[in-house]
Amino acid sequence: MVKEKILVIGASGQIGVELTLALRKMYGNANVVASDLREENDLLHGTGPYVSMDVMNKEMLHVQVIRQNITQVNLLAAILSATGEKNPGLAWNLNMQGLLNVLDIAKEEKLHKVYWPSSIAVFGPTSPKQNCPQQTIIEPTTVYGISKYAGEFWCNYFFQRYGVDVRSLRYPGLISYKSSPGGGTTDYAVEIFHEALEEKKYESFLNPDTYLPMMYMPDAIRATIELMEAPANKISVRTSYNISGMSFSPKEIAAEIKKFIPEFEISYKPDYRQKIADSWPQSIDDSKARSDWGWKQEFDLPKMTRDMFENL
């Protein structure tokens, strides 16, 4: 087996923490270097090497890749959908330049693999709402979605033109109990658990019947690892794979939470994030990921809710 040394960029974020811990279990603590612009997340402390780094600083990134003998990069640093709408220029710059820096270095240093997540935010109001297919009309209306869609084509370009083995998933909204979410439109589905436990009530920033594609973090981490471990000849999509876990609305998750906390109450005060949510599909067809590399989700809404309350 080829010895891998993996760099995770954006390791202190919602996905980064859990992906870093999972990779350290698989590859050994010393072989997974965590890095972020902000300080090391407490959950990573003492579990392996950490470097403070800005992905926009290409020279420093290049030096780290060489110095640490990196063979794989997982690029998770990004500005998410809701924060992106507040600062479109910043979201575009970071989401594009960060990716281009990594792809260029991957090409130059002949890295074995690169992972970069896209999002269901690539889809827009003209995409099918139900079971949105892998290939369909894609006209995103958020800067985040535009940056992810452009990024998908940069990944495909670097694969086709330079043979860089870059792989990607279009994550739905991710729900986790370890690290907190970083400014997305689906953050409500994490906040609601914390508020239910602490306050017994929650004010949702999305309307009761806003259905969105979601996934529990253990499924997302497993999907990422399965995609990255799959033989290259199984990967037919070099833009980004649709991937699906579950779909629910604020009203449905509130009803599920009530089974554990009967006095829990939800109220609704939609804000600017409602418009973002309304532009996205409600459910995703992930048959390509299933047939190419055997993806299958494990968690539905009831199973996730039980697991969240067991762990929070």
| Residues with catalytic function | 144
Q: Nearest to residue 288, comparing CAs of 241, 248, 254?
A: 241
Contact between 244 and ligand NAD per CB under 6 A? no
What is the distance between the alpha carbons of residues 228 and 103, in angstroms, rounded to a whole number?
Answer: 16
What is the distance between the alpha carbons of residues 155 and 131, in angstroms, rounded to a whole number?
Answer: 24
What is the distance between the alpha carbons of residues 236 and 238, in angstroms, rounded to a whole number?
Answer: 6
Residue 173 or 250 having the CB closest to ligand NAD: 173
What is the distance between the alpha carbons of residues 293 and 312, in angstroms, rounded to a whole number?
Answer: 32
Q: Nearest to residue 299, comparing CAs of 290, 307, 287, 289?
A: 307
The interface with ligand NAD within residues 133-172 (CB under 6 A) comprises 171
Residue 184 or 250 having the CB closest to ligand NAD: 184
Q: Return the range that interacts with ligand NAD (CB under 6 A); candidates 24-32, 122-130, 173-181, 226-234.
A: 173-181
Contact predicate 132/92, CB 8 Å: no
Residue 77 or 253 having the CB closest to ligand NAD: 77
Q: Return the range that interacts with ligand NAD (CB under 6 A); candidates 33-41, 198-206, 221-229, 272-280.
A: 33-41
Contact between 224 and ligand NAD per CB under 6 A? no
Q: Nearest to residue 208, comparing CAs of 256, 270, 263?
A: 270
Among 4, 6, 8, 16, binds ligand NAD (CB under 6 A): 16
- Shortest separation between residue 41's beta carbon and ligand NAD, angstroms: 7
Contact between 9 and ligand NAD per CB under 6 A? yes
Torsion on CA atoms 227, 187, 8, 116, rounded to nearest 10: 50
Contact between 10 and ligand NAD per CB under 6 A? yes
Q: Nearest to residue 158, comparing CAs of 205, 194, 110?
A: 110
Residue 76 or 111 having the CB closest to ligand NAD: 76
Contact between 213 and ligand NAD per CB under 6 A? no
Among 48, 84, 124, 182, binds ligand NAD (CB under 6 A): 182
Number of Cβ within 10 Å of residue 56's Cβ equals 14
Residue 140 or 182 having the CB closest to ligand NAD: 182
Using the 8-state DSSP alphabet, how is residue 132 labeled? B
The interface with ligand NAD within residues 56-75 (CB under 6 A) comprises 56
Tell me the number of residues near ligand NAD by CB under 6 A: 28
Residue corresponding to tokens 């698989």: 26
Contact between 181 and ligand NAD per CB under 6 A? yes
The first and second tokens of residue 309, run together, are: 């309350």
Among 22, 37, 60, 255, binds ligand NAD (CB under 6 A): 37
What is the distance between the alpha carbons of residues 11 and 34, in angstroms, rounded to a whole number?
Answer: 5
Q: What residues line the site for ligand NAD (CB under 6 A)?
A: 9-10, 12-16, 36-38, 53-56, 76-78, 80, 94, 117, 119, 171, 173-174, 181-182, 184, 186
